[in-house]
Homo-oligomer: A and B are copies of this chain.
Amino acid sequence: MRLTSFTDFGLRALMRMASDPHRAFSTAELADEFALSRNHLTKIMQRLAEGGFVTTRRGSGGGATLAPSPESISLGDVVRLLEAGQPLVECFATRENSCNITGRCRLKARLRSAEAAFLADLDRSTLADIALPISQMPQPATPVPA
């Protein structure tokens, strides 16, 4: 049972951004914190922007900012967005799956139920509950003045 790294990093980014909801965070800054390539994180941010969780702005002073308030974003909603199109098991995916007992299978319904329970549990928390205050962040490497 595994979430994609997209979801993992997406949650971390939002957790970080929730600590200062009106500030714009550049992908460069966050990527540096996560020790991840900036372009890779950019793609994750795009998904978050598509989902309406953040707004992005180019250019100087730009970056990504939380769109709604941290209290109004449930963890379940974030996971639903980022895990969209990620089937729990193969037969959840397409109508053209290899399972030849679709329709008679009583396992599928149980798995769906469990998945729903997972998300429902996450819905009990919002970004506000997990915001990571900046004071608790590890010290960034001090930029050496030239």
Contact = CB atoms under 8 A, between A and B. Distances in A.
Interface residues of A, number: 49
Contact of A12 (B8, B75, B107, B113): B107
A121 B114 contact: yes
Q: How many copies does the complex hold?
A: 2
Nearest to A108: B130
Contacts of A89: 2-3, 7-8
Contact of A110 (B12, B91, B130): B130
Interface of A: 1-5, 7-8, 11-12, 15, 33-35, 75, 79, 83, 86-91, 98-101, 104-107, 110-111, 113-122, 125, 129-130, 132, 136-138
